[in-house]
Amino acid sequence: MYIIYYVLLVLVFTIEYVSTVEETLLKMSKEERMSLREESRQMFYHAYDAYMDNAYPADELMPLTCKGRWRGVTPNRGDLDDVLGNFSLTLVDSLDTLVVMGDFQEFSRAIKLVISDVTFDHDIIVSVFETNIRMLGGLLSAHVLATALKNDVPALQWYKGELLAMAEDLGRRLLPAFNTSTGIPHGRVNLRNGIKGLSESRETCTACAGTMVLEMAALSRLTGQPIFEQKAHKAMDRLWTIRHRSSDLMGSVLNIHNGDWVRKDSSVGAGIDSYYEYCLKAYILLGDEKYLVRFNRHYNAVMKYISRGPIMLAVHMHRPHLQSRNFMDALLAFWPGLQVMLGDVRPAVETHEMLYQVMQRHTFIPEAFTSDFQVHWGQHPLRPEFLESTYFLHRATGDEHYLQVGKMVLKALQQHTRVPCGYAAVNDVRTRVQEDRMDSFVLAETFKYLYMLFGEDKDLPVNLEEYVLTTEAHFLPLSLATDGLSAPYLNLKFDDDEDKYKKVCPSTSSLVTQHLREPMRQMLGSTAARPPARLLPLNDPRQIDALSNMGISVLTLPDGRVQLLYTTNTASPPRDAAEGLTFMREMSKWSTLSDMENGVVAAGIKINDKIFPAGPAQFGREITGSDRYVGTPVTVDPIDACSDITNAKEVAGKFALVGRGQCTFAEKARHIQNAGATFAIVLDNVKDSSHETSTLFAMSGDGKDDIDIPAVFLYSQEGLYLTQALRENPALSVTIGELHSMKQEYENACDNDNCEPVTNAKTQPGDKESLNHLRKVLSKLVVQFELSVANEEPSLKSYIENSQDLHVPRDKIVNEDACDQNVSTASKDVKEESEKNEFGDF
C-alpha cells in the first residue's frame, strides 16, 4: 500500500514538473511575437507584389513560371478553373487584407485599379459558390471597410461607393442561377448569359448552395434591393427541409431540380463544411434565430454521429452509425474555429490537437488523410482553415501554445513553399514537390490569419467585435442585423418543431486547454499510426448497431483494419455506456491473447516446393479444412485494384495479384471478382515485411456480403518470392489452402513452431460472426475482469467503480474530469505489431 502511495506521489510530482517546463517553453516573448507578425506581413507582400508585378490583371499568379493565370488562355485544369472569370480575382479577394495590414495607400490604389480595370461582362462559366465568397464577398468587404475608414483616412476620402455598384452588378449576374424549381442554385452560371446552355446542370454540393446567405443578405441590405437575400433564404430553407429528419444530417451532393440527394455521405468537410458555418453566422450577422435553431440541431447531430472524440469521420446521413469513408479531408480544419464561435471550446481543442499531430507528421495537412494519419491525397494548396481555427482558439483561450502552432506553420511555409515569385502550393506533402499554383485565398485568408494571430486586436484598424468574418475571411458588419432591414425579413416563419430547441452557450471559464491536449497527444502519438487489435469479425449490422448503442463506433481504415472508438455521450440508453466501457476494458485484455486464443485460421500458399503462411480474409469464401485452390497468378492492372481492372481478359479464371493500399481490401476483391478472377492474393506494400517478423492478420471486410471469391494476404518477402518465381515460370501454378492441413499434407508434420498462428478450424464456432457468440465471449471476459477488481485494494476498487469517463490504455485506467467528453479507441484486427499505442489502441 505504501509503495503505491509513493509511486503516485512521484508521478504527481513528475506531472507537475513536466507541466511547468512545458509552460516555460511555450511562453513567447512580446519581441518574438512582434517579429513573427512582421514576418507574416512580409510574406503577404512577397506574394502580393509578385502577383501585381507578374500576373495582374489575371486572376491568379503561377508562382513557378511567374506568369498570370487566365481563363481560356493558360492550360485548362478542369473544375479548378471554375474560380476564374478574368476579373482579377486575387486582387479583389485580398483587398481587405491590405486594410488588416494597415496599408491604406495601397488599399486606395488597389480599389482604383479594380474600379477601372475589372468587368464582369464575360462569356465565361464560373462557380456560383466561389464567385460569391471570393469576388462578391471581397467587393462588399472592401466597400464596407472603405466607407467605415474614409472619414479618418485621407487616402480614402475620394471613395463614393463604386465597389458596391460593382457588387450589385455581379450579384445580378449570379441571380439566374437561382432559377430552379427548388430554389437551390445551379453550381455554375455564365457571367454574360446566365444559365443559357447549362440545361445539363443538375447537381450541386450542399456547401455550394448553402454558402450564399451572408454575402447576398449583405448586398440586399447595403443596396436596399431585397431580391438577393430572398433568393438566398429560399435556398437555405429548402436545404433545411431536405435534411434527414431522423438524424438531422445533410448529404453532400443533391439534385437542384427535385431536391433528391445524390450523395448521402455526411461530414463536416468538403461539400458540406461552409453550410454549417453559414447557419451559425447567418444568426450572428442577421439576428434571425431560425438559423441558430437549425445550427444547434445540426451541431448536436454532428457531435453525436460524426464526431469520434477528436476524429471527424463521414457517415451515411440515413444510417448515421455507419461510416461512409475511411478518410478525412483538410477542409474540416475550420470546424474547431466554428466550435469556438459557438462556445464549445473543449472539443475544439481536441480536434485541433488531432490536426496539429497530422501537421507535425507531414509538415503540412494533406488534402485527405486517414484516421491513423496516413496520407490519402497528398496535395496541400496552402489552405487557411487550420490557421483560422488556431487564431480563434488563441483568441478564446489566450493559450500561447497556439502561437507556437502558428510559428510552426509559418516556418513550414517559408522553408518549403516560398519561391522567388510568391508561394507555391505543395503537390505532395510526402515529397514536398511544388505545384505552379497560388490560390487567391492564400492572400485573402492564410496570411491574414497568420498576421492577426501574432498581432493584437488593438493594432488592427477595425474593431473585430463589430464584424463577422465570412468563410473567405471577408468583413461584414454586425450592424446589418438592423440596417436596411425591411418587413419581409421580419416575418420569416419558424418550422413547427423548432421552438422547443433553445440556444446554449457553454461556459469555458474553467477550461485549461493544456489538460485537454495532453491526453490527445497520448492517443494520437507516433505509435497511433499502426493500431493492431484482437477480436472476431464485426461485419454483421446487428453487431454494429449493438456496439453503437454502447457508444462504440466501428471505423474501417484504408488498409483493411477496423478501429473501435468509444464516446460516452453517444450511448443510448445511458446505462449502455457502462457496458461499452466494460467492452473497451476487455479489449485491452484481449489484446494480450495469442493468435491461437484469438482463433485466427491462417491460410497457406504452396509456391514450388515451399509453403508460406498467409493471412485470411473476413470476407469472401472461407478457406477451411481440406479445401484446395489451384491456379496461375496474374498481376492486375491497375496494381492496386482500386478501380476497374483493365486487363480483365488476362485475369479471368486466374489468381489475381494485387498490391496493398489506396483502398480497402474488400474494394480490391470486388474489382477482382468483377474481372472474373477466381482468387485474390494481396501483397504487402511495406518493404521487407515477413511473416517471420510480423504477426499474421485477417483482412477486414466492410459489412457487405457480395464477395464470393476467397482472398489471402502475403507479406512483402513472401510476395517477392512469388513474383520472382512467376517471372521464371509464367505458367507457375500455386496451391492455397488452410495452413495447418497443408503442412500435414505436404510436409507430414505441423509442430508448434510452424503453426503457431494457426487454430484448428474445427475449434471455431459455426456462428463466430454472430452477435450471440460475440457477447458470450465478452461475458467470460467481463467475469474475469470483475474477479480481478474484487481482488484489488478497496480504495482502488472504489476508484474504478466510481469513474464516470475513462480512457483505456493497454495496461492502466486513467480517470478524467467527470465533465469531459472522453474517448477510448481500439483497433479491431488480428494484427499485433511490436509497437503498442499508449492510449487505448490495441
For residue 764, give the C-alpha cell: 471455431
CB-based contact 535:587 (threshold 8 Å): yes
586 catalytic per annotation: no
Residue 560, CA distances (Å) to 675, 699, 775 in order = 21, 6, 24
385 catalytic per annotation: yes
273 catalytic per annotation: yes
Q: CATH 3.50.30.30 residue ranges in the chain?
A: 600-763
Which is it for the CA torsion 737, 741, 747, 752, positive or negative?
A: positive
d(CA 380, CA 435): 9
d(CA 586, CA 477): 54
Known binder of ligand: residue 471?
Answer: yes
Listed in sequence order, the residues at least 6 apart from 469 whose beta carbon sits closer than 8 Å to its beta carbon are 475
Parallel, antiparallel, or unpaired for β 467-469 and 433-435?
unpaired
Catalytic, out of 273, 576, 832, 841: 273
Listed in sequence order, the residues at least 6 apart from 73 whose beta carbon sits closer than 8 Å to its beta carbon are none
| pLDDT for res 521 | 58
Q: Centre a 10 Å sphere on the Cβ of residue 38 and count the other Cβ atoms it contains.
A: 13
- Cell 493468435 identifies what position? 595
CB-based contact 656:634 (threshold 8 Å): yes
Residue numbers of the chain with a pLDDT score lower than 70: 1-26, 199, 483-546, 555-563, 568-579, 582-583, 585-600, 695, 702-703, 748-842
Catalytic, out of 288, 367, 372, 586: 367
What's the alpha-carbon Rg for the chain, to the nearest Å?
Answer: 29
d(CA 445, CA 134): 11
Coil, strand or helix at 554: strand
d(CA 579, CA 633): 47
| pLDDT for res 569 | 65
705 catalytic per annotation: no
CB-based contact 605:612 (threshold 8 Å): yes
* Residue 110 exposed, middle or buried by CB count within 10 Å (0-12, 13-18, 19+): buried
The dihedral over CA atoms of 88, 93, 98, 101, expressed in degrees to the nearest 10, equals: -150
The dihedral over CA atoms of 254, 259, 265, 271, expressed in degrees to the nearest 10, equals: 40
- Cell 452509425 identifies what position? 321
Q: Centre a 10 Å sphere on the Cβ of residue 298 and count the other Cβ atoms it contains.
A: 22
Best CATH choice for the domain 600-763 from the list 3.30.230.70, 3.30.413.10, 3.50.30.30, 3.90.1150.10: 3.50.30.30
| pLDDT for res 27 | 85
pTM of the model: 0.64
| pLDDT for res 688 | 81
| pLDDT for res 803 | 37
Q: Which of 668, 701, 704, 692 is nearest to 754 (CA)?
A: 692
| pLDDT for res 75 | 92
Q: Which residues pair with 815 in a beta bridge?
A: 806
CB-based contact 810:547 (threshold 8 Å): no
Catalytic, out of 96, 103, 130, 288: 130
Listed in sequence order, the residues at least 6 apart from 332 whose beta carbon sits closer than 8 Å to its beta carbon are 267, 268, 269, 273, 312, 385
Listed in sequence order, the residues at least 6 apart from 410 whose beta carbon sits closer than 8 Å to its beta carbon are 36, 39, 40, 43, 450
